Structure 1
Amino acid sequence: MQNPPANTPKIDNIDDGDLPAGGDLVIETGASPSAPRPTPRVEALVATATAYANAASSENTRDAYAKDWRHFTAWCRREGFEPMPPSSQVIGLYIGACAAGDQKRNTPALSVATIERRLSGLAWNFTQRGTPMDRSDRHIATVLAGIRRKHAKPPRQKEAVLGEDIKAMVDTLGHDLRGLRDRAILLLGFAGGLRRSEIVGLDVARDDHLDGNHSDGRGWIEIFPGQGVLLTLRGKTGWRQVEVGRGASDQTCPLAAVERWIRFGRIARGPLFRRIFKDNKTIDVERLSDKHVARLVKQTALAAGVRSDLPEEERAGLFAGHSLRAGLASSAEIEERYVQKQLGHASAEMTRKYQRRRDRFRTNLTKASGL
């Protein structure tokens, strides 16, 4: 097999440090010091390939993977191991240490989900460095199986907020700028079955830069007066469109709420949902953080008394941004295929995982069996 030419682009082989800022990949020409400098055309091709490589995963994902790599390499340095090339034995010891924690260093034990995420981050990092990790090796797989068996806890899903819950939640909001914005967030997020990142990633109009790397947006809205809002969203597998129709009442209509926010917020271009300064009059030009959606859902659900049958300390951990998405799936009395399409799921099985309470006890096998 012939060796590639000296100026063939390749992924930068970073040792045990971080990926560059933001966890971005770096594609370099790989030329030796004595080789001629790449032509401007080759450098342009490298820049284009780098941009596409970074577009393969979100910035948040790359940041998380960069943190996973930092955690692993720091542990290797403390324990006297070399992080490269990947050693199944060392990785097995690492995940065992993560599960056990370290009392001397006051480091808590990590959850099974976090350890699995760390493994995914390591696998990605090793692959980018040209030395793939064998996750199925017994030194990794057997230790992970033991961790799951000993430490895994039953999944705790976020509570779904249903249609009546959303009505009560928006009633807790004021009618100032902040209230108008947050009301639009809740109603649009619920009716669209949106993720919190999709909500804050919306622009008020189509941005021609969305197809490139100059925008942090994830889609845009198109208003059809009197009918609804059409959302065009960019996801992991491509673009999809979500129709959010007009509601029965102006007080709880997503279309009306979005139109009011745009009019009074004077949003003409750029991000749809933005930060509002303390004077409650000045609107920032920057996009709102997706963490605001999680805080908003939690605060309004608690204020509205959703699941007031539970103790206050338990209720506080039940609600988050995903409560909106699960709420639509659980509330909509419509054929499952329409819910699946709205949520952008590839399978009906995934949609059913979001339907928290809709079908509970609807099919009664006890009575069907004659009892």
Structure 2
Amino acid sequence: MTTLALPAYAQLSEADEAALTDLYRRGTPANTLRAWERDLAYIAAWKMASFGRPLDWPEEEKVALRFILDHAQDLTEKPGAARDVAMELIAIGLRRELTCPAPATLDRRIASWQAFHRMRNLASPFSSPLVQQARQKARRANARPRVPKSPKPVTRDILEALLATCDASRRGIRDRAMLMLAFASGGRRRSELTALNVEDVGLDDFTPKGLIWITLLDTKTTRKDQAPRLPMKGRAARALVHWLEVTKITDGPLFRPISLSDRPLPRRLATDALRTILRHRLVLAGLPVNFATPHGLRAGFLTQAALDGAPLAAAMKLSLHRSAVQAQKYYADVEITENPATDLLGE
């Protein structure tokens, strides 16, 4: 089958292609872009090591099939071409080990590869029936038990223990406000917290109603033109307002590093700052440093909502989960112990 050559007037100019790429970037969350770039570097290095040539657009079906097969087996005790390629990727820091990657990792890399095909308006080889079938079989063959992102959910009682360690210093006031906002606004992600600016906090309703509004411009599941506004009230709202009053911050990053002299610095907290803060507070509360990760605040919000009998749909409006199936897992873990069917034989 021959490809129809388009006339010059029907083809995108270099400037048009650059504008399209820029539009694609501006319409994609920063975390997703970083994942795409890492995955593309891995895929390009894998193909060069496997076939001795760079990526093609569109890619060949046999290359996609080989990619799946090479990543659907444990190569630790399996000498051959796939193992040699994996060793090369380990040597340059793009792969950690010879064991079979998790199905989720393989799915993410394939999704990134497909995204770059879409960006070029090209058909992806992963859409072919043979490749899709190989993908399904690889997923089943290497299925693993679900491992929670946090060892424990940070439910209300755990959060109270962490908040009790926050003193009246600016560091303590910041940590209290940050932990309470992360929990009370629906279980916010690390990147969402550190991306917040003072301008994203609406205080007009605080005096008359005790309510503030948090606008999230940078989330995993929404675009900037869909920025959700989430309410926060009660103790959490007062803690955040107290942080602003004490520091007199009026613009720029909402949460900032604190100097040794207990003064807020003008720069933004690092994306991973919540992990450091949480570990510090866990130790002060007498809990193991690995008791929970930042995702424990997100899991804790949904778990506590289930414990308190809040409808799943109501909790999802704050957590911003797109999948009810995903959010339901937290409810299922709680509800199964209260299910009447677990007590058919009585006491």
* TM bucket, shorter chain: 0.7 to 0.9
Q: How does 1:27-38 map to 2 (within 5 A)?
A: 28-29=15-16
Aligned to 2:262: 281
Q: Name the structure with the higher strand share.
A: 1
- Distance in 2 separating the partners of 1:281 and 1:4: 66
Q: CA deviation at 1:138?
A: 4.6
Q: CA deviation at 1:192?
A: 0.6
SS at match of 1:276: coil
Q: Retained in 1: the 8 A contact 2:192–2:216?
A: yes
Quick check: 1:180 aligned with 2:173? yes
Q: Retained in 1: the 8 A contact 2:194–2:271?
A: yes
- Distance in 1 separating the partners of 2:330 and 2:320: 12
Quick check: 1:233 aligned with 2:219? no
Paired residue type of 2:132 = A
Aligned to 1:326: 299
> Gapped runs of 5+ residues in structure 2?
76-82
Identity value in percent:
23
Q: CA deviation at 1:8?
A: 5.2
Aligned to 1:343: 319
Q: Retained in 1: the 8 A contact 2:211–2:237?
A: yes
Q: Retained in 2: the 8 A contact 1:169–1:300?
A: yes
Aligned to 2:161: 168
- Deviations 1:220-276, CA, capped at 9 Å, x for gaps: 443613612211223415132211111xxxxxx212221222122221101111223
Paired residue type of 2:319 = L
Paired residue type of 1:124 = A
Quick check: 1:86 aligned with 2:59? yes
Q: Retained in 2: the 8 A contact 1:330–1:356?
A: no
Aligned to 1:267: 249
- Distance in 1 separating the partners of 2:252 and 2:328: 35
- Distance in 2 separating the partners of 1:365 and 1:298: 39
Aligned to 1:197: 191
Q: CA deviation at 1:58?
A: 1.2
Q: Retained in 2: the 8 A contact 1:203–1:270?
A: yes
Quick check: 1:3 aligned with 2:6? yes
Q: Retained in 2: the 8 A contact 1:178–1:280?
A: no
How many residues align? The count is 311
Q: CA RMSD in A?
A: 3.0
Change (3 A) 1:369 1:56: farther
- Distance in 2 separating the partners of 1:135 and 1:113: 16
Equivalent of residue 353 in structure 1, options 303, 306, 329: 329
SS at match of 2:335: coil
Q: CA deviation at 1:285?
A: 2.6
Paired residue type of 2:176 = R
Q: Retained in 2: the 8 A contact 1:297–1:323?
A: no
- Deviations 1:37-78, CA, capped at 9 Å, x for gaps: xxxxxxxxx75x554322221122112111211111112112
- Distance in 2 separating the partners of 1:92 and 1:119: 11
Q: Retained in 2: the 8 A contact 1:221–1:230?
A: yes
Q: CA deviation at 1:348?
A: 4.3
- Distance in 1 separating the partners of 2:161 and 2:338: 26
Quick check: 1:114 aligned with 2:105? yes
- Distance in 2 separating the partners of 1:29 and 1:337: 42
Equivalent of residue 297 in structure 1, options 278, 290, 295: 278
Quick check: 1:243 aligned with 2:216? no
- Deviations 1:83-132, CA, capped at 9 Å, x for gaps: 20312221222233334454744551322211111111111112223433
Quick check: 1:129 aligned with 2:120? yes
Change (3 A) 1:90 1:275: same
- Distance in 2 separating the partners of 1:229 and 1:188: 11
> Gapped runs of 5+ residues in structure 1?
11-26, 31-45, 206-218, 247-252, 307-311
- Distance in 2 separating the partners of 1:301 and 1:269: 30
Q: CA deviation at 1:181?
A: 1.2
Q: Retained in 1: the 8 A contact 2:170–2:263?
A: no
Q: CA deviation at 1:179?
A: 1.9
- Distance in 2 separating the partners of 1:162 and 1:290: 23
- Distance in 2 separating the partners of 1:9 and 1:275: 47
Aligned to 1:24: none
Change (3 A) 1:162 1:122: same
Q: CA deviation at 1:299?
A: 4.0
- Distance in 1 separating the partners of 2:261 and 2:67: 49
- Distance in 1 separating the partners of 2:323 and 2:49: 45
Aligned to 1:363: 339
Quick check: 1:69 aligned with 2:52? no
Q: Retained in 1: the 8 A contact 2:64–2:125?
A: no
> TM-score, normalised to structure 1's length?
0.73
SS at match of 2:146: coil
Change (3 A) 1:289 1:331: same
Q: CA deviation at 1:177?
A: 2.0
- Distance in 1 separating the partners of 2:268 and 2:138: 40
- Deviations 1:180-212, CA, capped at 9 Å, x for gaps: 21111101110111222222222212xxxxxxx
> TM-score, normalised to structure 2's length?
0.78
